[in-house]
Amino acid sequence: MISRFLLLLCLAMVASVTVVLPAHSQANLETLFAEIEPDVIEWRRDFHQNPELSNREFRTAGIVAEHLRGLGLEVQTEVAHTGVVGILRGAHPGPLVALRADMDALPIKERVDVPFKSEVVSVYRGEEVPVMHACGHDTHVAMLMGAAEILAGMQDELHGSIKFVFQPAEEGPPPGEEGGAELMVKEGVMDDVDAVFGLHINAGTYVGQISYRPRGMMAAVDDFRIVLNGKQAHGSAPWLGIDPIVTAAQVVNNLQTIVSRNLELTEAAAVVTVGSIHGGVRSNIIPEDLEMLGTIRTFDVEMRETLHRRFREIVNHTAASNGATADIQLPYSAHYPVTYNDPDLTASMLPTLERIAGTENVKLINAVTGAEDFSYFAREVPGLYVFVGGKPHDLNPDESVSHHTPDFYIDEDGMQLGLKAYVSLALDYMAMANGR
């Protein structure tokens, strides 16, 4: 592995210089992108129609592994349960670059009327649920498969090697299981890697645009589970019981005071959201207990510690004030650090982004309260994570459809820029690291 300090120093020295790619690739890359685009779209539609939940991406992983083997790559399967890693060793010495795509879908029923609409039903937390690629991970897999095919065809020209990381469980492993980027790091996926690049298609960014931010790009996340324990009673005689539903209502309201009254929001943003409440079976029965699930987002370590402390105090004290008790799991199943873009690497690769998208289409953005477990990879080695536009140009700014919703939609024209980003970031990084 090349010294990361020397690599970043070299990148900083040549960042302002136009990178000269090998003659073959310089002349033919645009043609290669255009030629493989129909395959990328076809792969994406297949994955979209056959989505799989976190740690259950068996079919997706099988297709990816078969594709990478067909390209002559060294392939590892069952990495972090269902992950796939392919290694392309260039003909010449140089750095090892990792390119990452996530594979999992979400328990959401699709409402978008497309020919490849998902009708898949699976099991999540013991219940049958519809499954949908409602965040665009299907596009990421297809784009990285296309990038692998293009780069494999340039193996004789590569001054370095590329590790293609197809990651499961970015949305968080099922309760009681390990998974995602954190487990991949534990299993050594980032060993000997010099830099890692990732991207996410974005329904709120127009096709043809790339958005980025150095340092903290996305928030740290901790999910939580609260079980409120009361006393069951007839709904007509609430004084005979302890009502966990009334307690839950007070907990939801009281938790919102943490951000508004306990955190210095001029320093950084923070969010507390309760996303699920399950309790009771009939209108005339006060239940014995109730479950609440939610998420916490922070950008600052000290603010995170304060939020966690106040969270526990408020839940426990609110429960006690109603005669109930609370069992708190924080974090519950997901706990990602801040997604951090190495500032030197970001500055060095910015000319690449501007070249493939056009300077006017590369946007510096504010930090995003969404979270990404790409953060685990970028905590091990210098990393860069960007958003690639997937919003149709005929939509107004206020017509964007949110990720993680039944109406999530991506314009497939946006995938070619993601494909270009994967390929170009890898090639330019290797060229700069080798002083070319």
**Got the DSSP string for 183-198?**
HHHHTTTTTT--EEEE
Burial class (CB in 10 A: 0-12, 13-18, 19+), 402: exposed
DSSP H stretches of helix in 50-125: 58-70
The span from the CA of 343 to the CA of 322, in Å, is: 49
What number of CA atoms fall less than 13 Å from residue 415's CA on the CB side?
28
273 Cβ neighbours under 8 A, 6+ residues apart: 294, 295, 296, 297
**Contacting residues for 395 by C-beta, under 8 A, at least 6 apart:** none
| Active site (catalytic) residues | 336, 412
Between strands 220-229 and 285-286, the pairing is: unpaired
411 φ, ψ to 5°? -75, 120
Distance CA 261, CA 360 (A): 40
Q: Which two tokens stand for residue 179?
A: 């998974």
